[in-house]
């Protein structure tokens, strides 16, 4: 809860950075998210030791893991000063996810939930969480891209004095993050299909969560292909990325609840 509160402070500080046009290289937001991540990490480690397994067994823990990967990726990318402002676009997402994750209904007693105790299963969950973390960072990069594009069209002075990266650099960042997300999602699904079928005892292709995951994979692969073939590809990639990740955020939880693999009957 303290980590989520700090992410909220980061969101509040991001508002002032936005108002000032991102004119000054500011370490305050980076420091706030670093402190939040430290507390977030402690919470995840304490949860793992308390249940004696990888803490990815319900929606609360899965959401916390995805949030952690977003923050970790940002702290690495934020070492480059012009990408440090990515935190201004990621902090609202982190705060919203954190508030959602803290809803009591998302954290039921562990004996009623899936038991992700095997190494293969934990690897699968970790890869999927890392994939969504990369896609979440690309969501923030898309917001940066569209903000910079808007300033170049309607407020050129603001674009000139801003310390945001050049729009071409933001486009490359978006593409690489989406590609990284696809690679991690592919690896996570491959681990599930190859190593987990016998453990679960049922066909993955009949599970709503798996069908949904394959749909997400096809969407992002198609988005990259479309980007390569279309004119003004960066603009279209940014909007497609925003819509794609918004769809993931809005539907992940409901599809997860429909999945018999992820919610076995006690």
Reply yes or no on whether the pLDDT at 217 is more than 90.
Answer: yes
Question: What is the spatial distance between Cα 142 and Cα 130, in angstroms, rounded to a whole number?
Answer: 18
pLDDT at residue number 204? 66
Residue 199: band (very low, low, confident or very high) from pLDDT cuts 50, 70, 90: very low
Q: What is the pLDDT of residues 7-19, one digit of tens each?
A: 999 999 888 877 7
Tell me the whole-structure pTM to 2 decimals: 0.78
Residue 112 has pLDDT above 50, yes or no: no
Contacts of the segment 21-29: beta carbons below 8 A, 24+ positions apart: 21/151, 21/158, 21/161, 21/162, 22/85, 22/88, 22/162, 22/163, 22/164, 23/161, 23/162, 23/163, 24/163, 25/81, 25/84, 25/163, 26/84, 26/85, 27/84, 29/84, 29/85, 29/87, 29/88, 29/91
Whole-angstrom Cα distance, residue 154 to residue 177? 28
What's residue 245's pLDDT?
92
- What pLDDT score does 43 carry? 92
Q: 121 and 196 in contact (C-beta within 8 Å)?
A: yes
- Domain ranges, ordered by start, for the chain: 2-258
- The DSSP H or E segment spanning 200 is helix 197-200
Give the Cα separation of 94 and 4 in Å (integer): 8
| pLDDT at residue 135, rounded to an integer | 92
Location of structure tokens 């453990």: 199
């Amino acid at each position: 809860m303290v980590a989520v509160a700090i992410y909220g402070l980061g969101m509040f500080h991001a508002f002032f950075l936005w108002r000032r046009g991102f004119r000054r290289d500011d370490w305050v937001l980076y420091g706030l998210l670093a402190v939040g991540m430290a507390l977030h990490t402690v919470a995840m480690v304490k949860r793992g030791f308390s249940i004696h397994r990888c803490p990815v067994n319900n929606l609360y823990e899965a959401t916390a893991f995805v949030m952690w990967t977003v923050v970790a990726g940002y702290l690495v990318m934020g070492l480059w000063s012009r990408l440090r402002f990515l935190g201004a676009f990621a902090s609202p997402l982190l705060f919203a996810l954190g508030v959602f994750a803290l809803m009591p209904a998302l954290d039921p007693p562990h004996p009623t939930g899936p038991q992700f105790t095997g190494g293969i299963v934990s690897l699968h969950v970790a890869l999927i969480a890392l994939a969504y973390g990369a896609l979440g960072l690309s969501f923030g990069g898309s917001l940066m891209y569209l903000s910079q594009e808007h300033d170049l069209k309607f407020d050129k002075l603001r674009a000139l004095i801003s310390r945001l990266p050049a729009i071409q650099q933001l486009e490359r960042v978006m593409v690489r993050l989406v590609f990284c997300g696809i690679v991690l999602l592919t690896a996570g699904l491959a681990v599930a299909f190859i190593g987990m079928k016998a453990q679960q005892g049922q066909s993955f292709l009949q599970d709503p969560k798996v069908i949904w995951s394959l749909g997400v994979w096809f969407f992002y692969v198609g988005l990259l292909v479309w980007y390569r073939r279309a004119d003004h590809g960066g603009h279209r990639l940014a909007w497609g990325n925003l819509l794609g990740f918004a769809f993931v955020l809005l539907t992940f939880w409901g599809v997860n609840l429909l999945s018999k693999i992820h919610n076995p009957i006690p």
